[in-house]
Amino acid sequence: MEESKAMKQQPKKNLWKPEEDFILRSYVETHGEGNWATVSQESGLMRGAKSCRLRWKNYLRPNIKRGGMSKEEEDLIIRMHKLLGNRWSLIAGRLPGRTDNEVKNYWNTHLNKNGLQDKRKANNSNSCKKNDDNNSDDGNNKKQKKVINQTCYPQPPLYRDNGADLAHDIQRRNQEENREKQNPSNMDDITSSHYNINSPMIPANNTTFNFDDEPYFDHLDPFFLFEAFGCSSVDASLDNM
């Protein structure tokens, strides 16, 4: 017990101090982003490359927006999460000034919780409390809650299985634009008849694919749909889900 008291009195080891922030910020401002491995050595920070990168990306970078999410942002997160699942970096890419970590935390604490509460209401409102009491394993309660969160709300399916990012999407779109210039009629097919706008994840009826079609399958990417058809169409499709 005394041991735990002593531990409580210890200063936090790992939170960034203002001095450290200052060092990192001035280092990045003079040397630029990247080469995080050398940052800790050259700047004198006793931090790992990952830690420095994360701190810069999430808190020190210019244009980082702090404070609570607006209603619009929250709404966007919810819709994007429906489309993308836990692709936090992609979702954050749609929220200027917000980071993936922030979006992720916000989801886990504010938004996911709502669903959990609904679920609890559906069962017995006291059951979870009871459950917590039974799990008097103290520190494990939080873990228990997390497991509940995950089991109540399985991840929506991913429509891509490897790390897609905006750069990828932009690159591909540029390729499509070039293709369009060469063969304009092709693109009409893609947006209007290959895919059912009201149900954008499903190709329209009577559509068959061969290997030549495969690149177009990438347009099942929700981002494409989001941009091509706008929020309202995606909303409509979500309503039908």
Interacting residues toward DNA by CB under 7 A: 8, 11-16, 34-37, 47-51, 53-55, 57-59, 68, 86-90, 100-102, 104-106, 108-110, 113, 129, 132, 136, 138, 141-143, 145-146, 150, 155, 162-163, 165
Q: Cβ closer to DNA: 151 or 205?
A: 151
Helix H or strand E segment including 140:
helix 140-152
Minimum CB–partner distance for residue 205 and DNA (Å) = 32
Q: Cβ closer to DNA: 145 or 179?
A: 145
Q: Cβ closer to DNA: 108 or 192?
A: 108
Minimum CB–partner distance for residue 197 and DNA (Å) = 26
Q: Cβ closer to DNA: 49 or 204?
A: 49
Q: Cβ closer to DNA: 29 or 188?
A: 29
Minimum CB–partner distance for residue 39 and DNA (Å) = 8
Q: Are 107 and 75 in contact (CB under 8 A)?
A: no
Tokens, residue 196: 């059912």
Q: Are 144 and 132 in contact (CB under 8 A)?
A: yes
C-alpha angle 204-205-210 in degrees, rounded to nearest 5: 80
Rg for the chain (alpha carbons), in Å? 23
Minimum CB–partner distance for residue 118 and DNA (Å) = 14
Q: Cβ closer to DNA: 139 or 184?
A: 139
Distance, CA of 200 to CA of 31 (rounded, Å): 45
Minimum CB–partner distance for residue 198 and DNA (Å) = 27
Minimum CB–partner distance for residue 187 and DNA (Å) = 25
Closest CA to 203 of 186, 180, 182, 220: 220
Distance, CA of 241 to CA of 221 (rounded, Å): 17
At residue 19, the 3 state secondary structure works out as: helix
Distance, CA of 112 to CA of 109 (rounded, Å): 7
